[in-house]
């Protein structure tokens, strides 16, 4: 049943939404819309009936032109202490992101300013938004459908161009189209089974079990391929963790800084999340790279320190690749050896790239055997290193093509997995025609379709008939 739409929309059970999942409609919420601590500017967003009051309290102004940015000074509503010079924009309901009154405050970047302004908004009567609450309000305000809402959440979250593209692709229906195509395949299978029952006396005769089996297997393979896109998602979303390892003064910090200049570095030292390392997010083509340097930190084990190699065991356990750095081939090999010894068994196949640092002489960049020659000072070998990293990541984790629809969210993965399980259950029960009669086992096929519908669309039984009449000459 699929039911024709015979199930509630995702997360919205029949008979009412779960208590507590909805905003009361009275609260005005505020949150930092940009990631904390990043960039030159930070954006705070207010939504709810008191958004204008809050704006007035912080600016001392009475009115704002709708949807026009105004440059103004922000002060604390109680202490009147000046906070920042900001651009504020007023979006009266319903023409706003959430459909409610919305204000956006663009303030200077950095934790201190945005925290102070956030505090001022709370003092003026707003409350902190729960995670996803803006999007949820937009959904309830009729501004978004669920897939769009998710895509927007991903856009907001997107720390990298790659995820940004994946999110855009979903917004554009790329995933919907892929799932719709798989659903069509499921329906074609259902049509094969239905044909056998509904038209027992036709010219074409019964459908051969081999044909049904072929259809099931092809579908299982397609679903597996789509499921296989899921593991790359965290890497796309958060970046591939590439850890620098090497002796003190092996040039790791310089390399990190140089690479940050080569590629656009998005993140530096996010407080509270990565206290044990210096971390930059390199927005490279392909998979974004989170370059991690644990130089000079005391997290290394005694044993490693004795070996004179700096690397954090904690980060190695999560690494997607490791750069073993050293000024000489011997130093690089030593670093690589230590790293391999420390990698947990489950990650024994993590690529370890040997990198020669401080190759500042005229020989310039290039490979030296299996080692990459780099010079942070001259800026040579950096592009080659980045591309080698991409290659290794591709070889190890599969080529990540950002435009391919992928299962970016757990909900999609669960639905596709459920669909796959139902088809596998069909295959097992039907057992090539020797088990449960096909049309009874077809309950699983319908459930497989319904699972895909959870993501995109309601089943129309008419679709099955369309498949059927296109393929068979029926007419007794």
Partner 1 sequence: MTSSFSAASLEASFDVLVVGAGHAGTEAAVAAARAGATVGLVTSALETIGQMSCNPAIGGVAKGTVVREVDALGGLMGRATDLAMLQFRMLNQGKGPAVWAPRAQCDRGLYRRAVRTLLEEHAAIHTIQGTVARLLFDGERVAGLETLEGRRFGARAVVLTTGTFGRGKLHIGTDTQIAGGRAGEAASTHLGQQLDAAGLTTLRFKTGTPPRIDGRSVRYDGLVVQPSEVEEHDWSWSYFWDAPRRDGERTRHPAQLPCFITYLEADGKALIERHIGESAMYGGAIASQGPRYCPSVEDKVVKFPHAERHQLFLEPEGHDTTELYVNGLSTSLPAPVQLAVLRSVPGLEEVRVTRAGYAIEYDYYPPTQLDATLQSRAIAGLWFAGQVNGTTGYEEAAGQGVVAGLNAARWVHEREPIILGRETSYIGVLVDDLVTRGVDEPYRLFTSRSEFRLTVRQDNALARLAPIGESLSLYDARERACIDAREAAVREARALAERENITPAQADPLLAGTGTAPLPHAVRIAEVAKRQGVSLGALFTAAGVGRQLAEDVVISAELELKYASYLDKERRAAERLRAMGGLRLPADFEYAALRTLSMEARQKLTARRPETMAQAASIPGVTPSDLQNLVIELERRRRAAAELAG
Q: Which is nearer to partner 1, 64 or 430 (CB)?
A: 430
Our finding on whether 473 is near partner 1 (CB under 8 A) is yes
Nearer to partner 1, 21 or 370 (CB): 21
- Residue 145 interacts with partner 1 (CB under 8 A)? yes
* Count of chain residues binding partner 1 (CB under 8 A): 62
- Is 360 a binding residue for partner 1 by CB under 8 A? The answer is no
16/131 with CB nearer partner 1: 16
Closer residue to partner 1, CB minimum distance, 287 or 450: 450
Q: Using alpha carbons, select from 454, 459, 453, 428 the residue that is nearest to residue 441.
A: 428
Residues 407-436 that bind partner 1 (CB under 8 A): 434-436
Q: Which of 49, 45, 44 is nearest to 24 (CA)?
A: 49
**Closest-CA residue to 409 (of 137, 153, 145):** 153
Question: Least distance from C-beta 396 to partner 1, angstroms?
Answer: 38
Q: Considering the complex, what minimum distance in angstroms separates the CB of residue 469 from partner 1? A: 4
CA distance 444 to 216: 12
Each residue 195-214 as x (binds partner 1 by CB under 8 A) or -, in order, gives -xxxxxxxx-----------
Q: In the bound complex, what is the minimum distance in angstroms from residue 457's beta carbon to partner 1? A: 5
DSSP calls for 418-446: HHHHHHHHHHHHHGGGTSS-HHHHHHHHH
Give the largest Cα separation in the chain, rounded. 87
Contact 357, 254 (CB under 8 A): yes
H-assigned helices in 228-377: 232-238, 252-262, 302-307, 313-316, 329-342
Give the footprint of partner 1 on residues 25-44 (CB under 8 A).
25
Query: Least distance (Å) from partner 1 to the CB of residue 288?
Result: 31
Binds partner 1 by CB under 8 A, chosen from 2, 34, 106, 254? 2
Sequence-ordered list of residues with C-beta below 8 angstroms from that of 169, at least 6 positions apart, any chain? 175, 402, 403, 405
Both tokens of 187, joined, read 């329906």
Task: For the CB of residue 215, give the shortest distance to partner 1 in the complex, in Å.
Answer: 16
Q: Dihedral (C-alpha) 462, 464, 470, 476: value to the nearest 10 degrees? A: -90
Asked whether position 81 contacts partner 1 by CB under 8 A, the answer is no
Span between the terminal Cα atoms of the chain, in Å: 28
Among 65, 68, 131, 142, binds partner 1 (CB under 8 A): 142
* H helix or E strand, kind and range, residue 41: strand 41-47
Residue appearing with tokens 């207010």: 46
- Complex with partner 1: residue 14 or 271, whichever CB lies closer: 14
In the list 216, 450, 451, 452, the residue contacting partner 1 (rule: CB under 8 A) is 450
Task: Tell me if 302 contacts partner 1 by CB under 8 A.
Answer: no
84's enclosing H/E stretch is strand 82-91
In the set 44, 105, 139, 355, which binds partner 1 (CB under 8 A)? 139
Starting at the earlier edge strand, list the strands of the sheet with 265-268. Answer: 265-268, 278-282, 289-293, 240-246, 321-326, 352-356, 371-373, 366-368
- In the region spanning residues 218 to 257, those forming contacts with partner 1, defined by CB under 8 A, are none
Shortest Cβ distance from residue 181 to partner 1 (Å)? Answer: 16
Q: Which residues bind partner 1 (CB under 8 A)?
A: 1-10, 12, 14-17, 22, 25, 139-140, 142-143, 145-147, 190-191, 194, 196-203, 434-441, 443, 446-447, 450, 453, 456-458, 460-462, 464-465, 468-469, 473-476
């Amino acid at each position: 049943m699929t039911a024709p739409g015979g199930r509630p929309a995702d997360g919205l059970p029949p008979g009412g939404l779960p208590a507590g999942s909805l905003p009361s409609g009275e609260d005005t919420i505020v949150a930092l819309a940009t990631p904390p601590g990043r960039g030159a500017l930070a954006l705070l967003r207010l939504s709810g009936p008191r958004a204008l009051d809050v704006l007035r309290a912080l600016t001392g102004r009475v009115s704002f032109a709708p949807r026009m940015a105004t440059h103004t000074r922000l002060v604390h509503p109680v202490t009147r202490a000046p906070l920042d010079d900001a651009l504020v924009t007023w979006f009266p309901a319903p023409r706003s992101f959430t459909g409610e009154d919305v204000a956006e405050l663009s303030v200077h970047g950095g934790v201190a300013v945005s925290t102070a302004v956030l505090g001022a908004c709370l003092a003026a009567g707003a409350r902190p938004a729960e995670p996803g609450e803006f999007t949820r309000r937009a959904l309830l305000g009729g501004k978004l459908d669920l897939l769009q809402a998710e895509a927007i959440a991903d856009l907001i979250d997107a720390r990298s161009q790659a995820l940004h593209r994946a999110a855009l692709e979903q917004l554009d229906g790329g995933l919907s189209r892929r799932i719709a195509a798989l659903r069509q395949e499921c329906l074609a299978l259902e049509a094969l089974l239905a044909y056998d029952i509904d038209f027992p006396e036709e010219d074409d005769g019964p459908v051969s079990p081999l044909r049904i089996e072929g259809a099931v297997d092809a579908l299982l393979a397609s679903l597996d391929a789509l499921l296989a896109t899921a593991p790359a998602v965290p890497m796309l979303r958060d970046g591939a963790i590439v850890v620098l390892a090497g002796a003190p003064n092996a040039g790791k910090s310089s390399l990190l800084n140089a690479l940050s200049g080569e590629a656009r570095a998005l993140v530096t030292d996010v407080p509270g999340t990565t206290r044990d390392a210096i971390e930059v997010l390199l927005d490279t083509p392909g998979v974004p790279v989170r370059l991690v340097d644990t130089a000079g930190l005391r997290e290394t084990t005694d044993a490693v320190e004795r070996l004179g190699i700096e690397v954090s065991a904690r980060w190695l356990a999560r690494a997607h690749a490791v750069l073993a750095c050293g000024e000489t081939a011997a130093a690089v090999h030593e670093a690589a050896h230590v790293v391999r010894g420390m990698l947990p068994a489950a990650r024994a196949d993590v690529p370890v790239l040997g990198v020669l640092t401080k190759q500042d002489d005229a020989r310039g960049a290039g490979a030296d055997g299996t080692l990459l020659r780099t010079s942070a000072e001259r800026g040579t070998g950096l592009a080659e290193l980045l591309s080698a990293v991409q290659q290794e990541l591709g070889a190890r984790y599969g080529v990540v093509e950002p435009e391919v629809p992928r299962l970016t969210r757990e909900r999609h993965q669960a639905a596709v997995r459920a669909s796959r399980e139902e088809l596998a259950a069909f295959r097992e029960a039907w057992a090539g025609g020797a088990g449960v009669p096909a049309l009874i086992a077809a309950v699983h096929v319908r459930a497989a379709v319904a699972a895909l519908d959870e993501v995109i669309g309601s089943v129309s039984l008419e679709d099955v008939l369309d498949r059927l009449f296109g393929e068979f000459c029926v007419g007794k």
